[in-house]
Copies of this chain bind each other. A is one copy, B any other.
Amino acid sequence: MRASDKAYAALRDDIIEWRLAPGTVLAEVEQSERLGISRTPLREALSRLTAEGLTTTAGGRGVVVTDISLEDIDELFELRETLEGKAAALAAERGDAATFEQLRNELCQAPSLISAGDPARHDYYGLVGRLDTAIDAAIHNSYLAQAMRSLRVHLVRVRRLAADDAERLTAAAAEHAAIAEAIAAGNPRLAEAATTLHLHRSLSHVKATHTPQ
């Protein structure tokens, strides 16, 4: 693995997991020494982060971790609803029914994973990730898939702001199951509606449990 990839992954995780707070300046020498690499690969990592919008160049004083405000979250979900709604509809038109039927069944049994505690809860997140992957593959549109991937980076960051209590996760699992069911049924409008519903509830939950820093 290249040193620049390592630096990129490390910094990206640090930002997403809120170990690096918004406003933190990432000086090149400081970070390169911390990660044990040279400035050159670090600069490439910072470029990639800036291209993704996780950092911005603050002219002269290095790059800083971008802030993410409440308005940002509204904008983020507005775009997310547009992209994922379309993706769900396309998946319903073009996807393989059996794949999503299988995912629906697993999602219906997800509540047992959620209530089982932390290690099993990780399996639940993996299951949701598989649904995302399946939709990405089903839409047959690399540009749309790319746009959603770049969006998910920011969404993970937002999710860390909210309390992922068992109650909300159980409800979310049911909403995901509804999406999978609609896609398996080949009903584009239903799939889009189920996605819209899920995203609105997610947004409400984030805003309700948001803890101001």
When C-beta atoms are compared, the residue in chain B nearest to A85 turns out to be B82
Whether B144 lies near A82 (C-beta < 8 A) is: yes
B-side contacts of A86, CB under 8 Å: 82
B-side contacts of A146, CB under 8 Å: 53
Measured in the bound complex, the distance between the Cα atoms of B79 and A79 in whole Å is: 12
B-side contacts of A6, CB under 8 Å: none
B-side contacts of A47, CB under 8 Å: 44, 47-48
User: Is the CB of A115 closer than 8 A to any CB of chain B?
Assistant: no
When C-beta atoms are compared, the residue in chain B nearest to A87 turns out to be B82
Known: A44-B43, A143-B151, A147-B79. A51 touches B51 (CB 8 A): yes
Chain A positions 61-84 with a Cβ under 8 Å from a chain B Cβ = 72, 75-76, 78-79, 82-83
- Residue numbers of A with Cβ under 8 A of B are 40, 43-44, 47-48, 51, 53, 72, 75-76, 78-79, 82-83, 86, 90, 140-144, 146-147, 151, 154
